[in-house]
Amino acid sequence: MTLSQSRQDTRHDWWRGATLYQIYPRSFMDSNQDGIGDLAGITARLEHVASLGVDAIWLSPIGTSPMDDFGYDVSDYRDVDPMFGTLDDFRALLERAHALGLKVIIDQVLSHSSDRHPWFAESRRDRSNARADWYVWADPRPDGTPPNNWLAAFGGPAWTFDARRCQYYLHNFLPSQPDLNFHHPEVQQAQLDNLRFWLELGVDGFRFDTANFFFHDRKLTDNPPSPDGYRRRGHPRSYQLLTHNTDQPENLAYLERIRALLDDYPGSTSVGEIGGSDPLPTMAAYTQGDIRLHMAYTFDLLDSTGEAAALYRVLSRFAEFGDDAWPCWALSNHDVARSASRWGEDRALLALTVLCSLRGSLCLYQGEELGLTEAELAYGDLQDPFGINLWPEVKGRDGCRTPMVWDETANGGFCPEGVTPWLPVYAPHRPLAVDRQAAGADSLLARVRRLLRLRGTSEVLRQGEQTLIDPAPLPDDVFAVQRHDDGKRLLCLAHLGQQGSFAARMRLDALVPGANGWASLPLPGMAAPQVEGRELRLAPGQAAWLAIT
C-alpha cells in the first residue's frame, strides 16, 4: 500500500477554511552547516509549525534545479535537489509532518522548466526531433526582431534567439526558464505524470506556480499597452496588459484534467498562484465549482498596506464572480515585502486578525508569526535576479527571504556561528527569535497561536458565508465583515487608522439590521471594545469579533 492510499484524514475537504504555513526551504533551517536550509532542517523544526495550530505546510520548490531562480527553474521534476537532501529525506519529512497532524503541499512549476532540463536540450537541437514542439518556438520577424512585443517579468523581451534552430523561444521569466508548449498533448500528459509521481509518494497537494500561464495565444498576438494608472516604476511588464500570454481559455480545460487526477487521491488539494493584469476574475473562475483548482490567490492582498477602503474593494470585487469560488488569502509570501513592513510593525497582530476574519483558506509565511519585517540588504548581498537586474528602483525579493530566526545568536540559530548563510540574517530580527518569544505569554508568537486556535475551532470562521459591510455607514478607516453559518452570526471589525487618529463610534443596529445584542469574543492582544448603550467604540489598531444575537 502506498502512502497516498493510506491518507490519515478521512475529511476530504480539510483544506476548506484551513490555514497553510509557507516554508521557504533555503531559509528555514540549515541542518548540515552549509548556510542553506534543507529538508532535514525543516523536519527538525516541524514541532514549532504544529504548535501554531495550522493545518498544512506549503514547501516552496525543492526539486532539482540550477537555482537561477531558486528552484522555479526545474531540471528534474521527480527528484530533490541535493542542496536540500534526498527523496528519503523528503519521505522522512512527510512521515514527521503527518505524525504531527500536518498536511504537506509542495510547489509545482509546470508552465516552464530550466533550460538545462533534458526536454529543452532535445527540443533546441533541431526542428525535427521528438520534442521539437514541446516548447514555444517562433520564427523572427522579417527584420530579425522577436515575434511579438511580450515582455519578461525580469526585464526585456520575453523571447531569446537560439542559434541552433534559428528561432526564438518564449520565456515569461528568465531566459533560462523556457516556457513549455501546453498546446502539445504530450506536454500536458508528461506534467500530469510528474504530479502523479509526487501523489504516489504521499504529498497532500500542490501549489501551482503561475497557474494562469500554462497556455499562450497560438497567434502570438501583441499585448496591448496598459493604462498609465497600472504602470509601476521599475516593473517593465507593467507597461502592457498580459492579454495574450495568460488566461487563455485552454487553461480551464487543463485545470480540469489536474483536478480529475487529484480526485483519484482523496483528500489531496491544490492552490494556484494567479498573476496578470486582472487576476480576481481569473481567481474566481479557476476555483468555481469542484472541477478545477480547490483554492487560488492573487497579489491583491499581498500588495495591501492595511487601508480599509482598499480591502473592501478587493473583497467586494472578488465576491462579484460567484459564491462558490474559494480563495486562499495571504498577506505575505516569498515574492512580496513582508506585511509587518507594509501594514506597520505595530500592526502585525491586527493584520493577522483581519486575515483570520475572512472567508476562505489562509496562508501564513514563515516568520509572520514573529512579526518579522522586510530586511534591508546591500546590493552586494543580493541573490535574487529580479533585484539584481532592476536595482535600485526594485530591490527584489531577498528582503522577505532572509533566514528564519530561532535564537538570538549571530546567525539566528539558522546555522552555526562561523558559517555564512546564503543571505545574511537581519540583525533587527534576532530579538524576535522563536526561543525568546516562546518564553513570553504575551509575545506576538503566543498571541498568534491563540488567534489561530480561535479561528481553527470556529466553524463560522472556517466554513461560514461572508457579507461585507458597505463602507458608507462605517467611520473612516474601519473595515467590517459579517460571517454567518447555521444561524450563527459573527461581526468582525477592525480600526485600521494610524495611532493618533480618532476612535471610531458605531451603532450595532446600523451595521447589522435586526440585531438585538452581541457578546464580544476575547481576541488575543486586543482590549475589549468599549460599549455605551448601543454604541460601540474602537480605538485605532483595535479589532473586535462580536457574536450577534
Catalytic positions, written as ranges: 209, 273
φ, ψ for residue 330, nearest 5 deg: -145, 155
Residues 529 and 539: their CA atoms lie apart, in Å, by 8
Q: Write out the three cell numbers for 250.
A: 485552454
The residues with which 108 forms a beta bridge, in sequence order, are 208
**Whether the Cβ atoms of residue 9 and residue 267 lie closer than 8 Å to each other:** yes
Query: CA angle 267-273-275, nearest 5°?
Result: 160
- Per-residue b/e over 177-203, b at no fewer than 16 CB within 10 Å? bbbbbbebeebbebbeebbeebbebbb
Residues 441 and 455: their CA atoms lie apart, in Å, by 19
DSSP state of 299: S
**Whether the Cβ atoms of residue 512 and residue 342 lie closer than 8 Å to each other:** no
3-state SS, one letter per residue, for 92-110: HHHHHHHHCCCEEEEEECC
Residues 173 and 158: their CA atoms lie apart, in Å, by 7
Phi and psi based region of residue 519 (left: phi greater than 0; alpha: psi -120 to 50; beta: remaining)? beta
Residues 452 and 430: their CA atoms lie apart, in Å, by 24
Q: Which three-class secondary structure state does DSSP give residue 346?
A: helix
Q: Which three-class secondary structure state does DSSP give residue 239?
A: helix
Q: Dihedral, CA atoms, 310, 315, 320, 323, nearest 10 degrees?
A: 180
Residues 105 and 208: their CA atoms lie apart, in Å, by 10
* Residue 124 exposure: Cα atoms within 13 Å on the Cβ side: 20
| Runs of H (alpha helix) within 249-330 | 250-263, 279-287, 308-319
Phi and psi based region of residue 548 (left: phi greater than 0; alpha: psi -120 to 50; beta: remaining)? beta
Question: What is the bridge-based pairing of β-strands 137-138 and 167-170?
Answer: antiparallel
Q: Write out the three cell numbers for 224.
A: 496591448
Q: Residues near 432 by Cβ (< 8 Å), separated by ≥ 6?
A: 370, 371, 372, 405, 444
